A and B are shown apart, each in its own frame.
Chain A
Amino acid sequence: KAGVTQTPRYLIKTRGQQVTLSCSPISGHRSVSWYQQTPGQGLQFLFEYFSETQRNKGNFPGRFSGRQFSNSRSEMNVSTLELGDSALYLCASSPGDSYEQYFGPGTRLTVT
């Protein structure tokens, strides 16, 4: 089975722009979660989608949003980028609540 894939792997954006990151979960997995990892704050939960519905949300501003499609693929969007949004964004998929999460390699976003 193919693992979780994230595109693009690396991205450079300018302050004020917006960005969309994509995540393809493992086939059959209905839950997709997003995390932000920075040296200062570590790994922080952004949100989780299950069957196209946002089920959980972390403590991030409204500039961070996401969605999930009927094939379970997910996208996250960050609008009005700030320098502090520079981070590794990780996506994880799972068959459901009782199961472990499988993480992708992440998208490294640099905001200049």
Chain B
Amino acid sequence: DAKTTQPNSMESNEEEPVHLPCNHSTISGTDYIHWYRQLPSQGPEYVIHGLTSNVNNRMASLAIAEDRKSSTLILHRATLRDAAVYYCILRSLNTGTASKLTFGTGTRLQVTL
């Protein structure tokens, strides 16, 4: 499985934007970039995914580098409820393996007042 590298932890002030980076230099052409987050005492939660183009949804934006070797999850205005571990995951669409999410260590985001 292609690997992702994320900082162990990041801090942000409430209501400020947060940029969470992810490196995936060995990404293949069939790999989608997925982001999940895990709030304390909960299961992981899907945030966003993309292939080549930048993506936006109600939770966040995903900026993907032109060479696809890195990406950045953007939370436009962090709130205390966004404090979680954020996982960047490469997900192949090869039939039969797409269901297997390989989680790294993720980035623990702390949000302070």
Interface assignment of B80: CB less than 8 Å from any CB of chain A: no
Given known pairs A42-B103, A43-B103, A45-B102, the reply for A105 and B43 (CB within 8 Å) is yes
Which A residues from 55 to 112 make CB contacts under 8 A with B? 55-56, 58, 90, 92, 94, 97-98, 100-106
Q: Given contacts A90-B44, A106-B43, are A101 and B104 in contact (CB under 8 A)?
A: no
* A interface secondary structure, majority: strand
16 new A-B contacts at CB < 8 Å, known A56-B96, A101-B46 = A31-B99, A44-B103, A45-B100, A45-B102, A48-B99, A48-B100, A56-B97, A56-B100, A90-B43, A90-B44, A97-B96, A97-B98, A97-B99, A100-B49, A103-B44, A103-B45
Residue B54 CB within 8 A of the other chain = no
Q: Is A24 an interface residue (CB 8 A)?
A: no
Q: Mark B5-46, 1 if CB is under 8 A from A, else 0.
A: 000000000000000000000000000001000000011111
B112 proximal to A (CB < 8 A): no
Q: Quick check: is B55 within 8 A (CB to CB) of the other chain?
A: no
Give the CA-CA distance A93 to B104 in the complex, in Å. 20
Q: Which residues of B does A touch, CB under 8 Å?
A: 34, 42-46, 49, 87, 93, 95-106
Q: Which of B87, B93, B100, B106 contacts A98 (CB 8 A)?
A: B93
Q: Which residue of A has the minimal Cβ distance to B99?
A: A48
Chain B CB within 8 A of A33 CB: yes
Q: Which residue of B45, B96, B101, B106 is within 8 Å of A55 (Cβ)? A: B96
- Chain A to chain B: the 10 pairs with minimum beta-carbon distance, closest first: A103-B43, A43-B103, A100-B46, A97-B98, A48-B99, A56-B100, A103-B44, A45-B100, A90-B43, A33-B99
Contact B93 A101 (CB under 8 A): no
Residue of B nearest to A58 (CB): B100
A33 with B45: CB separation less than 8 A: no
Q: How far is the CA of A33 from the CA of B106 in the complex (A)?
A: 20
CB distance from B102 to the nearest CB of A (A): 7
User: Which of A4, A50, A101, A105 lies in contact with B101, CB distance below 8 A?
Assistant: A101
